[in-house]
Chains A and B, each alone.
Chain A
Amino acid sequence: MSNFERLLNQGEFVVCGEMGPPQSADKAAIIRKCDYFRGVVDAVNLTDNQTAIVRMSSIMASVFVVEGGLEPIMQMTCRDRNRLALQSDILGAYAAGIENILCLTGDYQTFGNHPEAKGVFDLDSVQLIHTLREMNEGRFLSGDEIKAPPKMFIGGAANPFAEPLDLRIIRLGKKIRAGANFIQTQPVFDFVKFDKWIKAVRDEGYDQQVHIIAGVMPVKSVKALEYMRESVPGMSIADEYISRMKSAADPKEEGVAICVETIKRLHKTQGVKGVHIMPVLWESITPRIVEEAELLPRPILTSPHQEEVEVQ
């Protein structure tokens, strides 16, 4: 069982970080970034070619994060692999010590740096979650037996901000029934919509069946917020944050302040079991945010990987 799973089961308010693997073969870059997260977060998401831009594979990046003494949440998209590749990668990942996985359908290939590529989409994210549960129970998707099955902690994503809200709640229920253990959301910049969503989740009782981990994102400038509002489909950003960032003397400080406030508010929200901090290209800010949000010290890691690192 992963430490991340154990903490959630104990009822701790968890903190996840996020790291984008490099657009190069530079292993040292990942090991270096691990320093920002050690002792600060409980697990780190490793993105899988996010926005369809080619990067180091999330599996190998996750392996390096394990080496660096952290617990990875490996993201896996259905855009680049068919059901054979997905399943074989899951087996390999688990064998390499990766115990948390986040299942995503994936950004469409035309948004990335190889827009001429073929998107696979053999499965969708709900079917990938179902596949993982089957594999955990010792069966491939074909029904064939797995002698030594993986025991992955299965995650899915939810977007509380995009339409249609009612269907999104239905789909969340599908993900739970398919086998999701935790859910990570898009970054929260709109509490009107988020509160409405979490209330609907609570009304269905889903917050009791799955661990909901809300996303937050520190931003450096008002431009970043405006870009997200204009160009990232399915994002919602309240005017309040735009005007605050615009009028701030030091936008970076304001970005941190907004992020810390958001975390504190989410901490008090019923049904939210943790936060997922996703600073895009600004990983170094994570320790400061976690500290200011009064979430330090983190519960002590007890996974075997960590003990190995300490012995060395």
Chain B
Amino acid sequence: MSKLSEAIASFCEKYALLNKSAVVAENIVKKPVFGCQDCGQCVLSHDAFTCPMRCPKQIRNGPCGGTREKGFCEVYPDRRCIWWLINERSKKMGRQGKLRKYHIPVDRRLERTSAWLNMFAGRILPMDLGKELKEVELIKKDPPPMR
């Protein structure tokens, strides 16, 4: 991300109220629409806007070996396997190639922080709206200030 976005992120993170509002605003959008689990390191744009953290095993590089017939979840047989959904939707959007990306382990320090601010700060992968896989280096490794 750019210098400007980094400045925005560090400004918002300096003030608890701004920081909190970013989290709340993000939750209002993402919770009802995507079933956001508040991991703070959003990969929605890589996974056809279907959140992999909704998987009972929270697999970021799925699916596990237990998907039932017709793509139902091993743990909750009445739900679809999240990775089955991601695959179907990615195919429809012509973005299946992006599923080849290896996703690094979740940084648990970012849980319940704003993924938008984390993205602006360069802590997590930027939103990737293209159809093809793009490799990006993360610039910042330190966590956001304490909540």
Q: Is B113 an interface residue (CB 8 A)?
A: no
Known A83-B105, A108-B74, A178-B102; contact A162-B66, beta-carbon cutoff 8 A? yes
Contact yes or no, A186 B65, CB < 8 A: yes
Q: Is B87 an interface residue (CB 8 A)?
A: yes
What residue of chain B has the Cβ atom nearest to residue A79's Cβ?
B57
Q: Is B142 an interface residue (CB 8 A)?
A: no
Complex Cα distance, B56 from A106, in Å, reads: 12
By a CB distance below 8 angstroms, the chain B residues around A126 are 61, 102
Contact yes or no, B70 A163, CB < 8 A: yes
Q: Is the interface of B mostly helix, strand, loop or mixed?
A: loop
Contact yes or no, A171 B61, CB < 8 A: yes
Choice from A107, A122, A164 contacting B63 with Cβ under 8 Å? A164
Choice from B64, B69, B100 contacting A174 with Cβ under 8 Å? B100
Contact string, B99-113, partner A, CB cutoff 8 A, digits 1/0?
110111110100000
Contact yes or no, B105 A233, CB < 8 A: no
By a CB distance below 8 angstroms, the chain A residues around B100 are 170, 173-174
Known A163-B84, A174-B100, A233-B74; contact A124-B61, beta-carbon cutoff 8 A? yes
Q: How close is A133's CB to chain B, nearest CB, in angstroms? A: 11
Known A127-B61, A164-B63, A170-B99; contact A233-B87, beta-carbon cutoff 8 A? no
Complex Cα distance, B99 from A159, in Å, reads: 18
By a CB distance below 8 angstroms, the chain B residues around A168 are 63
Complex Cα distance, B108 from A107, in Å, reads: 22
Q: How close is B80's CB to chain A, nearest CB, in angstroms? A: 11
By a CB distance below 8 angstroms, the chain B residues around A163 are 67, 69-71, 84
Contact yes or no, A130 B102, CB < 8 A: yes
Contact yes or no, A167 B56, CB < 8 A: no
By a CB distance below 8 angstroms, the chain B residues around A125 are 61, 64
Q: How close is A285's CB to chain B, nearest CB, in angstroms? A: 25
Contact yes or no, A164 B57, CB < 8 A: no
Contact yes or no, B102 A177, CB < 8 A: yes
Q: How close is A215's CB to chain B, nearest CB, in angstroms? A: 11
Contact string, A226-246, partner B, CB cutoff 8 A, digits 1/0?
000000011000000000000
- Residues in B86-119 with C-beta less than 8 Å from chain A: 86-88, 91, 96, 99-100, 102-106, 108
Complex Cα distance, B69 from A164, in Å, reads: 9
Q: Is B75 an interface residue (CB 8 A)?
A: yes
Complex Cα distance, B60 from A122, in Å, reads: 10
Complex Cα distance, B63 from A174, in Å, reads: 12
- Residues in A172-201 with C-beta less than 8 Å from chain B: 173-174, 177-178, 186
Size of A's binding interface in residues, CB under 8 A: 35
Q: Is A217 an interface residue (CB 8 A)?
A: no
Q: Is A157 an interface residue (CB 8 A)?
A: yes
Q: Is A303 an interface residue (CB 8 A)?
A: no
Complex Cα distance, B102 from A86, in Å, reads: 20
Name which of B62, B65, B87, B105 has the most chain A CB atoms within 10 A of its CB: B65
Contact yes or no, B99 A167, CB < 8 A: yes
Complex Cα distance, B100 from A174, in Å, reads: 6
Contact string, A97-119, partner B, CB cutoff 8 A, digits 1/0?
00000000111101000000001
By a CB distance below 8 angstroms, the chain A residues around B140 are none
What residue of chain B has the Cβ atom nearest to residue A167's Cβ?
B87
Contact yes or no, B57 A105, CB < 8 A: yes
Closest 5 interchain pairs by CB?
A159-B65, A126-B61, A233-B74, A233-B66, A167-B87
Some 22 contacts from A to B, beta carbons below 8 A apart, are: A106-B57, A119-B56, A119-B57, A122-B106, A123-B105, A124-B59, A124-B60, A127-B60, A127-B104, A130-B102, A157-B65, A159-B65, A162-B65, A162-B66, A166-B87, A166-B91, A167-B86, A168-B63, A170-B96, A171-B62, A171-B63, A233-B77
Given A162-B66, A163-B67, A234-B68, 4 more A-B residue pairs with CB atoms under 8 Å apart are A79-B57, A127-B60, A127-B105, A164-B71
Give A residues with C-beta under 8 Å from B.
Answer: 79, 83, 105-108, 110, 119, 121-127, 130, 141, 157-159, 162-164, 166-168, 170-171, 173-174, 177-178, 186, 233-234
